[in-house]
Structure 1
Amino acid sequence: MEKTYLNSEPDLLLLVSQGDEAAFARLFHAYHQRLGAFVFQLTGSITMAEEIVQEVFIRIWEKKEKLSQVHHFHPYLYMVAKNYTFSFLKKLGRELEHKQQWELTLSASTDNPYEESTDACFRRIIDQAVAELPAQRQKVYLLSRDEGLRQAEIAERMAISRETVKKHMVLALRAIRSYALTHPESNLLFFFLLLK
């Protein structure tokens, strides 16, 4: 089954379900731009659409065994993306509401000149979370955040593929958000906004 699967989506899905990374890369390249355009229509944000598409494909890879039972990938992919996007937007709405409430509370209690500034507090927690990332993921994140490098530039500097850079960024952001949630002083996912 060397080259025959390239033109047959069911065979491609079967290979992905068995853990074939090359087949998954083909699936990703075949759909990621169209899916990005679809998600952009729902969110109105290119940055958000890119992150959601990456997250959707990571989830599909994590549950790849299910693909052997999928007969029509296009509708399946779009259903997963639509459901994830709506959940993402609802969550973001709740985060923004919590952020506004938190800012009102903070502004009512800013009499203490020794109190750590909000930005400094957020930065400290993010830095702690970044320090716990695996070395390569940490390097990708820091090259993006501190040096402002684009994904293609990071890939070139680190001699890894652009897809690997994207995957590291998505997983880094996910880990940082999870870390932030364990800290009472940042019990809102305002970090999502700060990490953009």
Structure 2
Amino acid sequence: MIDSTAEKLLLIKLKEGSFQAFEKLYTMYSGKLYNFIMRLSSGNQYMAEEVVQTTFIRIWEVRGKVDPDASFISFLCTIAKNLLMNMYQRQTVEYVYNEYLMKSAADRDSQTEDTIDLRFLNDYIDSLAEELPAQRKKIFILSKRQNYTNKEIAEMMGISESTVATQLSLAVKFMREQMMKHYDKVIALLFAFFVNEM
């Protein structure tokens, strides 16, 4: 049972900008939030980990709006559910986009522009990683390119899991913001796909 008085004190400190309070709250609630998302996502561990990370970075970003007198776990769950819904929507777009690329590859004998586009996007992600601070870049590569867990990365780098989660979430947030600059291109390809299928 989490002491409500201690929680309220941590929330007040978080609201004032205490990263130490943030890490304590992460330790207290990340496991509960992970289990909650695992139930909502039918046991999807990748989604659960991504949502937990992104939820807590969102908490840090809006820490000034946190209400110490309100239920923190309800606040966390509301953010997490919205993020999970966004992930499902994004996966649907990615699925249709991948289907488009597969169809294009089957229809053409030579290397397609879409394959070039896909390689370009991978190269673009790599170039974005180079813009990250050194520690954040290393965490991103270990997690997203080499598939290490947060716990393994924390042990390798001698830092806390919450620090790994925070840095990884910041890296992913940066990537997503930059990738949105190419969103119009993805939508154009999807539109062409649906027109050709009609």
Instruction: State the match for 1:23 in structure 2.
Output: 21
**Matched letter for residue 38 of structure 2:** F
Q: Does the aligned pair in 1 maintain the 2:104–2:114 contact within 8 Å?
A: no
**Matched letter for residue 9 of structure 1:** E
Instruction: State the match for 2:193 in structure 1.
Output: none
Distance in 1 separating the partners of 2:19 and 2:138 = 23
Instruction: State the match for 1:124 in structure 2.
Output: 123
Q: Does the aligned pair in 1 maintain the 2:26–2:162 contact within 8 Å?
A: no
- What are the superposed Cα offsets for residues 115-163 of structure 1, whole Å, 9 maximum, x if unpaired? 6846644432222222222222112222335555443333233332222
Structure 1 residue 171 and structure 2 residue 185: aligned? no
- What are the superposed Cα offsets for residues 29-69 of structure 1, whole Å, 9 maximum, x if unpaired? 11111111111111121111011011011101110111136
Rate the CA distance shift 1:136–1:145 in 2: closer, same or farther, 3 A: same
- TM (norm. structure 2) is 0.76
**Matched letter for residue 131 of structure 2:** E
Q: Does the aligned pair in 2 maintain the 1:129–1:180 contact within 8 Å?
A: no
Displacement, 1:75? 1.9
Comparing 163-172 and 15-24, the one that deviates more: 163-172
Identity over aligned residues, as a percent?
31
The two structures, once aligned, show a CA RMSD in angstroms of 2.9
Q: Could you list the runs of 5+ residues in structure 2 that have no partner in the other structure?
A: 188-198
Q: Does the aligned pair in 2 maintain the 1:39–1:81 contact within 8 Å?
A: yes
Instruction: State the match for 1:98 in structure 2.
Output: 97
Rate the CA distance shift 1:154–1:75 in 2: closer, same or farther, 3 A: closer
Instruction: State the match for 1:155 in structure 2.
Output: 154
Displacement, 1:6? 8.2
**Matched letter for residue 61 of structure 1:** W
Instruction: State the match for 2:195 in structure 1.
Output: none
Distance in 1 separating the partners of 2:136 and 2:20 = 22
> What are the within-5 Å matches in structure 2 for residues 1-196 of structure 1?
7-44=5-42, 45-68=44-67, 70-108=69-107, 110-113=108-111, 117=115, 120-145=119-144, 147-183=146-182, 187=186
Displacement, 1:114? 8.1
Distance in 2 separating the partners of 1:172 and 1:87 = 18
- TM (norm. structure 1) is 0.76
- What are the superposed Cα offsets for residues 42-100 of structure 1, whole Å, 9 maximum, x if unpaired? 11211110110110111011101111364222222222222222222223223322332
Comparing 84-93 and 27-36, the one that deviates more: 84-93
Tell me the secondary structure at the aligned position of residue 110 of structure 2: coil
Distance in 2 separating the partners of 1:139 and 1:38 = 29
**Matched letter for residue 171 of structure 2:** A
Count of paired positions: 183
Q: Could you list the runs of 5+ residues in structure 1 that have no partner in the other structure?
A: 189-196
Displacement, 1:183? 4.0
